[in-house]
Amino acid sequence: MVEKKKNLSDCKPVKLPNPQSVRIGVVVSEWNDTITYAMRDGALQTLMDAGIDTNNIKVCSVPGSFELPTAAVMMLESDDKIDGVICIGCVIQGETRHFEFISHAVADGIVRAGVDYATPVIFGVLTCDTLQQAQDRSGGKHGNKGVEAAVSCLKMIALERKLRNS
């Protein structure tokens, strides 16, 4: 029998050597902003708790989840020398197939950005059937996926630094 976890965000951040030197971009969709801003806030708090200097966290907004991959690439190509990008969005199923097209395009774009730049580009995008499911995962009873995205980003940066220095 499969056990359902109540708080899915029960994850442990990694300790980074010299976290003050880490530069992270956070791209947030304005669509479904009550959800995405709660996820953004969870991600930012997690980064600060890990010792990331707030001056080294660059946050920008985009109109919707579809624009997340493009903004991630823009951040990676900026002069800010970003070590990782967290993409935060929320797509909720409607009556048409639009949900499927957006969800697939966003996932593919985020993966492509990470692979093309060999830099962590984290998929912090909720793809839910209902608003309630999104609320439950953006600080509700199932935790905050923004926290999980931040932890994933930190762990991938730590892995990259370990591999580079080994």
Residue 12 pLDDT level (bands cut at 50, 70, 90): low
The set of residues, in sequence order, having a beta carbon less than 8 Å from that of 126 and lying 6+ positions away, is 35, 39, 89, 90, 91, 92, 133, 134, 137, 138, 145
Please calculate the CA angle 157-137-116 and round it to the nearest 5 degrees: 35
Range of the domain at 41: 21-165
Task: Check which CATH number belongs to the domain holding 35 and give it.
Answer: 3.40.50.960
Structural domain includes residue 86: yes
Residue 7 lies in a domain: no
Q: Is residue 71 part of a domain?
A: yes
Identify whether 6 is part of a domain. Answer: no
Comparison of pLDDT for 6 and 41, the residue scoring more: 41
C-alpha of 65 from chain center:
11
Beta strands in the chain (DSSP E): 24-29, 57-62, 84-92, 121-128, 138-140, 143-144
Total structural domains within the chain: 1
Tell me 95's DSSP state. Answer: S
pLDDT digits (tens, 9 = 90+) for 83-99: 999 999 999 987 777 88
Which of 5, 6, 15, 98 does the annotation list as catalytic? Answer: 98
98 is catalytic: yes
Q: Does residue 13 fall inside a structural domain?
A: no
Place of tokens 């660059």: 58
Q: For the segment 23-54, what is each residue's pLDDT rounded down to a tens digit?
A: 999 999 999 999 999 999 999 999 999 999 99
Quick check: is 158 in a domain? yes
